Structures are given as C-alpha cells and as structure tokens.
C-alpha cells in the first residue's frame, strides 16, 4: 500500500515533466557528449568555420559535441591551394578557426584528410608531375600540414577511400596516375602512413572509407591491408567507418555484419571510429523520422557495445547544412537537428542509446 502511494506521488511529480518536456529541456537535459562520457566515447561532428557565425550552430556545436572535424577545410585543395613554388602555398585560415573554436570549448580535433582522390587543386591535377615529383609534393604536404597541427589534431584520416567496392585499388593520382612510385597494391598507402608517422609521431593514424561497414569485398581488402600493416609494424592506429547510410541499413543481417566487422578489426588491436554517420531519407514524414531515429539508436548501440569504438561522429548535425541533398538527388533530412535547429527524434534516440 505504502509503495503504491509512493509510486503515485512519484508519477505526480514526473507528470508535468512528461507532459511538457520542452519546458525543462534546455538547461537540465543531458547532452550527447555527457551521455557518451560513461562509455568513454567521443561524440564528434563535421563542421565548417564560416558557419560558426550562426548563433544556433555554434551553441549546439559547443555544447553537444566533444570533437569536431573540418568538413572540407583541411582537404588538400582547401589547405594547399597554391603550388610549392608560391611564396605561401598553404591556407590554414579555416582549419585554424575550427581548432581555436574547439579549444575554447574543450573539444578535441580530428584531421581529415591527407591523401584522397577528391578536392585536389588544379595546380596539382593539371601539373603533369612525374612520380618522383608527386612523391615529393605529397611528402612535403603531409609534413607541413601535420606539423602545423601537431598537438592540436590528435588523429588523422591519413588515407581516404583508396579502395574500389570490389576490393581492388582505386585508380588515383596517388596510386597509378602516375602514382608516387611506391609500387603496386597497398605499398603507397604504407609509404604515406610512414611519412605521416615521421611528421607527427604522436598523432593517431587512420585509414577511412565508405561502404566498408559490412563484411564485403571492400572491407575484406581493408582488413587484409590492416592485418599486414600490423604484422609488419606499419604505423596504422585505426580504421574510420564513414557510415553514410539509408534506411535500408535497418536490416538485422546488415547490422550484425557491421558489428562483426568491427569486431574483427578490433582483434587486430585497432581503434575504430564511426567517422561520417548520417542516415539519408527521401522525405521527412513522421514515419520516416521515426524509422531514422530507430536506426540512429541501433548504430549508436553497435559502437557502445564495442569498446574499441572510441568515436561516434556525424557528418554535420543540422539538416540546414548537410551535404546529402547536393550529392543524393531527392534525399536529405539525414542529421540530428532539422533545418531550424530543432532536435529530431534521431537526436533523442542517439542520446538514449548512449545512456544505456
């Protein structure tokens, strides 16, 4: 009897909170970064310096996230827009602004990315360089950028998207067009990881890719490379799983495969980061948002259940500034806040998965 009374009083006490969550949300709710602390998971997001001027943008970034990563501003074309013959080939402005923001708000910074086939400046793409020259350009680039951010950027996506879906090497200027003269297969990747380690021995070095979440030909190829690198002491610290997905990922087989895949990489002693999570939709009906929320929760749980999964990062946080509509025709609504900076069901789902 007494217990029931107590329960009734408790319900009365909770009643108004349940009825109007908004009234108490702003000040007393746990943020994502707080919720993740118990699991020692870093909650990151991609960001852009020009958006820091939007008050809602910077307020959410500073309070909800414990890590940021430049969405574009540390890519080759952005940070090294002019040839090395120019008096100042580099432009660190955007990256520096992001680093300063992160430091002010007690966030760590992840670097993205040193070796990629996209976002290359015209002077490099059209320069007609030989392998030897390209090797020198890339080595110097890696050294300059990593030394500039030494002790500020704790981890780098050294190489991004070097494999095709079938596990073969992607044909790029760094591999074979004309390449850097390091040799066949994953030799050039090994070479750049060694350069990166020389440039900043304290940075954690990652290989990052998309559609390698499940066990498939691409993730098999990455796994074989990682195993080989670990065996031979090539300085590889972890793998980034981009995790750009859609609702069709909400399939028990796919989810189980993602978990198993992470597990096999973790057994190699590697750190695992989910680096670019977003879940694109083809409309923003309530059902879609609810399905999206569920999937955000499940992906979060996969990270929570795998201790080497140390970073859970979304590719932006507001639908106002997501890359999806531009790159996937007819799709969007992929992130945790809507385009008016209102929290979506996906936000709540991610947080409650972190609170478990």
Q: What are the catalytic residues?
A: 161, 276
What residue has token string 């990151």?
A: 44
Q: Closer CB to ligand XIL, residue 67 or residue 242? A: 242
Residue 340: both structure tokens together: 């008016």
Q: Closer CB to ligand XIL, residue 90 or residue 328? A: 328
Question: How far is the C-alpha of 95 from the C-alpha of 152, rounded, in Å?
Answer: 11
CA angle 312-230-237, nearest 5°?
30
Interface map 28-67 toward ligand XIL (x if CB under 6 A): ----------------------------------------
Question: How far is the C-alpha of 119 from the C-alpha of 125, rounded, in Å?
Answer: 10
DSSP states of 235-269 as a string?
---EEEE--EEEGGG--HHHHHHHHHHHHHHHTTT
Number of residues that bind ligand XIL (CB under 6 A): 7
Q: Are 61 and 47 in contact (CB under 8 A)?
A: yes
Q: Which of residues 191-230 bind ligand XIL (CB under 6 A)?
A: 210
Q: Are 70 and 99 in contact (CB under 8 A)?
A: no
Q: Which of residues 241-300 bind ligand XIL (CB under 6 A)?
A: 242, 276
User: Binding residue for ligand XIL (CB under 6 A) from 160, 219, 292, 313?
Assistant: 160
Classify residue 332 by its DSSP letter. Answer: B
> Is residue 172 a contact residue for ligand XIL (CB under 6 A)?
no
User: Binding residue for ligand XIL (CB under 6 A) from 156, 258, 296, 323?
Assistant: 323
User: Binding residue for ligand XIL (CB under 6 A) from 34, 72, 172, 284?
Assistant: 72
Classify residue 2 by its DSSP letter. Answer: H
> Is residue 314 a contact residue for ligand XIL (CB under 6 A)?
no
> Is residue 319 a contact residue for ligand XIL (CB under 6 A)?
no
Residue 302 C-beta: closest distance to ligand XIL, Å: 20
Residue 118 C-beta: closest distance to ligand XIL, Å: 7
Q: Which of 314, 298, 278 is nearest to 352 (CA)?
A: 298
Maximum distance among all alpha carbons in the chain? Answer: 85
Residues found near ligand XIL in the complex (CB under 6 A): 71-72, 160, 210, 242, 276, 323
């Amino acid at each position: 009897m007494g217990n029931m009374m107590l329960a009734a009083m408790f319900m009365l006490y909770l009643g108004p909170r349940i009825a109007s969550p908004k009234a108490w949300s702003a000040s007393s709710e746990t943020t994502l970064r707080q919720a993740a602390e118990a699991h020692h998971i870093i909650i990151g997001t991609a960001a852009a310096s020009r958006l820091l001027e939007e008050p809602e943008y910077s307020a959410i970034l500073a309070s909800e996230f414990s890590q940021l990563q430049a969405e574009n501003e540390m890519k080759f074309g952005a940070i090294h827009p002019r040839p090395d013959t120019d008096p100042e080939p580099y432009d660190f402005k955007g990256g520096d602004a992001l680093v300063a923001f992160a430091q002010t708000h007690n966030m760590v910074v992840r670097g993205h990315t040193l070796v990629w086939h996209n976002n290359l400046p015209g002077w490099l793409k059209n320069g007609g360089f030989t392998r030897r020259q390209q090797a020198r350009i890339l080595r110097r680039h890696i050294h300059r950028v990593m030394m500039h951010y030494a002790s500020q950027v704790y981890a780098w996506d050294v190489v991004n998207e070097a494999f095709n879906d079938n596990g073969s090497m992607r044909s790029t200027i760094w591999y074979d067009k004309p390449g850097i003269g390091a040799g066949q297969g994953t030799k050039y990747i090994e070479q750049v990881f060694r350069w990166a380690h020389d440039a900043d021995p304290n940075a954690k070095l990652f290989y990052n890719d998309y559609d390698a979440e499940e066990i498939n030909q691409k993730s098999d190829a990455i796994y074989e490379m990682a195993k080989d690198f670990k065996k031979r002491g090539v300085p590889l610290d972890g793998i980034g799983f981009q995790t750009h997905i859609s609702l069709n990922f909400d399939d028990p087989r796919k989810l189980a495969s993602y978990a198993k895949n992470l597990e096999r990489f973790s057994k190699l002693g590697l750190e695992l980061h989910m680096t670019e999570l977003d879940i694109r939709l083809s409309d923003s009906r309530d059902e879609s948002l609810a399905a999206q929320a569920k999937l955000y929760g499940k992906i979060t749980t996969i990270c929570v259940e795998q201790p080497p999964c140390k970073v859970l990062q979304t590719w932006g946080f507001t639908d106002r500034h997501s890359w999806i509509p531009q790159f996937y025709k007819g799709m969007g609504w992929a992130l945790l806040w809507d385009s008016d900076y209102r929290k979506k069901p996906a936000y709540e789902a991610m947080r409650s998965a972190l609170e478990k």
